[in-house]
Amino acid sequence: MKKIIILLCIPFFFIRCDSFLDVNPDSEVVNKDMFNTASGVEDALYGVYMTMATKDMYGRLMSTMIPEILGQNFTSTYQYLPYLGRFEYERSETRNMYKNIWKTSYLTISYLNNIIENLEEKSEKDFRHYNLYMGEALGLRAAIHFDLLRFFAVHITSTNEAAKAKAIPYVTEYDFKVTPYSSVEEAYGKIITELKRAEGYLTEDESLMPANRVGNEKGFTGARVLHFNLYAAQAMLARVYWMKGDMDNAKVYADKVIRSGKFRFVSKTSLGTFMQKNVSMDETIWGLYNAEVYSDWLTSHIRRQGLGDLTTDFKSIYAYEGPLGKKDYRWDSWFGTYDRSGNTVDILVKIMGPVSDTTSLNTSYSGGPYLGTSMVRIPEMYYIMAEALLGEGDVTGATVYLDSVVSARGMEKFAERIPAVNVTLDSIMVERRKEFFGEGQWWFCLKRLNRSIKLSGTTGTIIPGSDKIYALPRPVEEEDYRPE
């Protein structure tokens, strides 16, 4: 029987399998001893973070690779990847990728369910940092379900009621039961409820996360930016409400993060190094630590033609002619060139660092104390505030928030441009794409608005927005033997 509940029996932590049927009978009896000590619980949570950083999740497929190719920021001529870029989802060549996302994400959720169920048998009397443990586990479970919803379900504004009624299984138990599908609306409700619970548990982060972080913090309560922390819960609530289209609540939570004063924009002259394989101590709200981040995949791919090249029109989105001394520093800092067998090609160095023929793929570049990648950064909160205020008719307020990011990146503020330029939703969308290029967010921005997509490498082929291009197919194994 091939179905999601089999995943709940996979050995705890790093036992991996090649099919939905590989089950170790010895793993069916979970060793509860590890949850009798704080170090055991912390090891369990660290195991979750490490799994999230693997290539089948945010180490590759769910970050730079799939959403960036779908969003036409990257293009590829290698093996099955061109089919992905043309939204040919039903081909067998691409289906394994989706299955790996689905399988590894639900595997990680099963780890979290086990942690949460064991913590529910404990209390603050048992562990000094009980609230942090529970808050992190709940927040991570909600965050992973949210991305599964964004990848595999139609958007909440879809007119296909049957598809909306069958979004994803929202799995909260570590057992053999088959979890029914939740509707899109139900899934959003559960995600929001769990993120709010996480927020309540994580209030200690107000004191644990200083405004000035230098990166040498130690222990479970030290490097909180590498954990699902209080501000991660609030930022994720802002992102979830934004994706859902509830801008009133999105604004509330984005404002909480901004007003916390814990996060700031790096100087425009530091843009060249603030992210390269590192978690920014200034802009990152929540990041994943990983000594072999997905930039290694990018680094290896730019060495071979067709394995994830920049699209031919990517330069146009950074086009900007400002007054003397004003320019978009992102263009100069985040892009470079590479000599590929005598041909100079454009590359994204923002999340991989400079590359040469002699560069080791495991090189750790300077620019931050923690190797890894950012899951959510402070500019996103400003974009959400700008869009929310714009929707309320407050163009001036929207401009202030958008200008905060624009100015930090070296450009002239919209409010000071001559002739005057009124901020619109398209203005915010353009800035979002420029800011998060390579970070796996643009396709979801397009999905939210059901925008048409211009295929890269074509003379103008436009794919209209639809459920077909904005919902990946679930693994066929998931449907086998389901009673519904």
Distance CA 354, CA 348 (A): 9
pLDDT at 265 over 90: yes
Q: Tens digit of pLDDT for each residue in 103-115?
A: 999 999 999 999 9
Q: Which CATH architecture has domain 1-201+460-478?
A: Alpha Horseshoe (1.25)
Lowest mean pLDDT of 45-54, 141-150, 281-290, 340-349, name the range. Answer: 340-349
- The pLDDT-based confidence of 28 (bands split at 50, 70, 90) is very low
Cα dihedral value 237, 276, 293, 349, nearest 10: 110
- The pLDDT-based confidence of 298 (bands split at 50, 70, 90) is low
Helices first, then strands: H and E counts in the chain: 19, 10
State the Cα angle at 73 between 67 and 75, rounded to 5°. Answer: 90
Please tell me the predicted confidence (pLDDT) of residue 3: 41
Please tell me the predicted confidence (pLDDT) of residue 25: 28
Count other C-beta atoms under 10 Å from residue 341's C-beta: 9
Average pLDDT of the chain to the nearest whole number: 85
Q: Which H or E element spans position 285?
A: strand 284-289
Lowest mean pLDDT of 36-50, 243-257, 296-310, 317-331, name the range. Answer: 296-310
Please tell me the predicted confidence (pLDDT) of residue 368: 41
Question: Angle of helix 230-244 relative to helix 184-201, nearest 10 degrees?
Answer: 160
For the entire predicted model, the pTM comes to 0.90
Mean pLDDT of 112-122: 96
Lowest mean pLDDT of 4-8, 243-247, 459-463, name the range. Answer: 4-8
> What percent of the chain is modeled with pLDDT above 90?
60
- The pLDDT-based confidence of 457 (bands split at 50, 70, 90) is confident
